[in-house]
Chains A and B, each alone.
Chain A
Amino acid sequence: MSPSKSLTSSPPRIYTLGDSALVCELPPPATLACQQRVWTTAQAARDWPHVLEVVPGMNNLTLVIDPFAADREALAERLRTAWEAAGAAPTEGRDIEIPVCYGGQYGPDLKAVAAHTGLAANEVIQRHAQGEYIVFFLGFQPGFAYMGGLETALHTPRRSEPRVEVPAGSVGIGGAQTGIYPAVSPGGWQLIGRTDVPLFDPTRTPPTLLQPGDRVHFTIAESHA
């Protein structure tokens, strides 16, 4: 995943989401170089007036704005300029190991992932644990890290009906991404395992275990293929 020349020339699409948000989006595929630019632009936007939140996504950035006071057009122009000025910042991530109990009661969708990918359940586990994943952004719930680096063979679409209750610590696959649910919540990803490492503590600074740029390695604590 090295920076490509075409990336720097492709202009972002900037649009509103309702009356309270502005989105800056790059077309797929998601690359680390593009994501580093998202981080740099996010850093710049944090201090702008009437910007309440700056939320990086995968290949995109959402500014939550004050719908009463914000000048959308001026902010959109500023966002465009900041994106063009942003270079890919070097990543100084940490290496973090997360032990996972794969399959069985911990990974109710392991069979579905195996069926979709055409791999044996055990091979899904082995391949998932061999990967190195980079935290692209946090979202969905406190401490939930969206990570890049899931090998293509493991890509599996989200469930057609999201679960109302996913157990805390569940490790899942959603499309081309993999991640861990820090707390009980609804969720649409395919669950393949579970960990007991805490990912969010509101009394800690920063409150999340994982930060953008970190490199995550899953280890097999138990395997129920």
Chain B
Amino acid sequence: MIDVIRAGLLSSVQDLGRYGFRHLGVAQVGALDPLSLEVGNRLVGNRPEAAGIEITFGPTVLRFLRATRIAITGTEFGATLDDKPVYSWWSLPVQAGQQLTLNAAKRGMRGYVCVAGGVDVLPMLGSRSTDLGAGFGGLGGRALRDGDRLPIGVPLPRAGSRGFSPDAPEFGVKAPAWCKFILVDEPVRRGRHATGIAWAPPIRVLRGPEYDLFTDAAHEAFWSDEWLVTPNSNRMGYRLAGTPLERKQKSDLLSHGVLPGTIQVPPNGQPIILMSDAQTTGGYPKIGAVIRADLWKLAQIRLNGAVRFIPTTEREAHNALVEERKYLRQIDVAITMHDERCAREMAPAAV
């Protein structure tokens, strides 16, 4: 069991999402930064699809009722376990009664707390993720509140091995943000933007089916503007603000499927990037689509922050996923080595 002492801005139970019911209008939901959740689950010996707690910005306080193993991934929170500082991307033992405090996110926007065995709420339509829009899944179909108590599942045999036991030492892995694979091939920008805010991170985008319906001026603005992520953005979509994107002619499209990453432009010309909780179909023209490998980066952009779009190809989009898999394999190797080291240290005592 985990006691939610303080839920914070927006915390919810999320796994890798709900699939197979999209034709009934059921959204994908799931972690906005699935790469962080996958790494977090690996750090505590879970299957990649186990559910964790998604924390938006913080501050959040959790208490563990049993000795177990946890990991924080995603952004850095300046977290403490009782009074001891703990870092993201580390696998930590916790003792019964210890309290984890995640202060405000230092850079990004979202983090994940994973626990050995996973958050074991009742799966609904094949997933433990909270659907905040439709109000089901997760804990009561809603965001976590102060005083909630979350059930923890039985750890896998792997999670019960020496390396993941509550008394095995802590160990950490490299965060994806520090890895070369997330870099984009373009000239490096140094210093700060004239407005004083950091440079907007580049997000790779493929042209959408209605790209050609927009004017040349719209194309120019789309690729060169720094787009403000307005405070009106949420898990359903990021509403951007910048140069209005005009179409050559106005016409309503017939409703069609949309998915996380789709960039649609309503008649006011201000684009919306659809996120995990987005609706399954829409009617606005789609100027582009964020590639799968860059979706998690969006999850870490703050409200009132900015993004830039850079054009990419299907081949680059696929290569980016290959790089992401390589990164996850490196994590697996690091974890296996940790586990074997722990087993060796135990071996002499057993002889």
Contact = CB atoms under 8 A, between A and B. Distances in A.
B124 interface: yes
Contacts of B284: 188
- Count class of interface residues, chain B: 35 or more
A20 B294 CA distance: 12
Interface string B206-219: 10110000000000
Contact of A19 (B134, B266, B286, B318): B318
B256 A207 contact: no
Interface stretch (B14-22, B41-49, B64-72, B80-88): B14-22
A143 interface: yes
B139 interface: no
B321 A18 contact: no
A19 B25 contact: no
Interface string B282-295: 11101011111000
A140 B24 CA distance: 9
Given A161-B268, A207-B21, A139 B133 contact: no
B334 to A, nearest CB: 22
B24 A208 contact: yes
A53 B28 CA distance: 10
A195 interface: no
Contact of A18 (B23, B125, B266, B290): B290
A90 interface: no
A183 B132 CA distance: 10
A142 B259 contact: no
A144 B261 contact: no
Nearest to A28: B254
B257 interface: yes
Interface in B301-334: 314, 317-318, 321-322, 325
Interface on chain B toward A: helix, strand, loop, or mixed SS? loop
A67 B321 contact: yes
Given A55-B281, A67-B317, A18 B257 contact: no
Interface in B131-154: 131, 133-137
B135 A207 contact: no
B23 A60 contact: no
Given A19-B314, A55-B280, A202-B125, A64 B22 contact: yes
Contacts of B249: none
B24 A67 contact: no
Interface of A: 15-21, 23, 25, 28, 30, 42, 52-62, 64, 67-68, 72, 137-144, 146, 157-158, 160-162, 164, 174-177, 182-186, 188, 200, 202-203, 206-208
12 contacts: A17-B257, A18-B262, A19-B291, A19-B317, A19-B318, A30-B254, A157-B252, A183-B135, A200-B134, A207-B21, A207-B125, A208-B24
Interface of B: 19-27, 124-125, 131, 133-137, 206, 208-209, 232, 236-237, 252, 254-259, 261-262, 266-268, 279-284, 286, 288-292, 314, 317-318, 321-322, 325
